[in-house]
Amino acid sequence: MPSKNIVAIGGGGFGRSLGSLEIEKYIVSLTNKKRPKICFLPTASGDSSLYKLNFYRAFSKLDCITSHIDFFSRTENLEEKVLTQDIIYVGGGNTKSMLAVWKEWNLDKILLNAYEKGIVMSGVSAGAICWFDKGITDSYAKELAIIDCLGIIEGIACPHFDEEKEREPYVSDVIQREIIDSCICIEGNCALHIKNNIEYASIDFGNGKNCFRVTRENNIVKKEIL
């Protein structure tokens, strides 16, 4: 059976600045290939041209065979493209809109198949939470919300946990009110590596950044470092 990997990044990486490409190198290393094929899905940003440019600049430096998929111009054969990759990388932006487009094109089913085949799944922000049952998103203009995601990994995830001041109070509130039982919260410049659905590792590529499991015990909200 192939090893299955998801790398969910809470914030940072090539989308902001190329920098040292530390988390990108980590993702590439999971393939154990000299020149892995990586495909970028910039759907959540509306297929932003600048975002795509930064992707090509970053992963070309790491000697990857790079490509991307557009949904807002002519779209190629998705199954053929996705299932021939070593890595899928999903960019940030509007998670709700991204998932709606993907489902219309049946990409949700294709990505699950790719994951089961051992293709590394990765991404930042929208591209971090999309793999979980549910995610906490700022897709709506005036409030955070919990939305259904792809359901490849169990649980609820929240990115930007230390970067956006409304995130931690929102998570605490929905847990305290028993709307959700727990939440995996990922800080900026940190990623959660989930291997074979059961092994969880926090990857700090900032300065002492963490992933947390936030729960409620005896009416007190608790944060446990993953």
What residues are annotated to the active site? Answer: 125, 160
Place of tokens 């920098």: 19
Within 13 A of 120's CA, how many CA atoms are on the CB side? 23
* Strands of the 153-158 sheet, one edge to the other: 145-148, 132-137, 153-158, 182-186, 211-217, 220-225
* Burial (Cβ within 10 Å: 0-12, 13-18, ≥19) of residue 80: exposed
**Residue type, position 164, single letter:** E
Contact (CB, 8 A) for 148 and 188: no
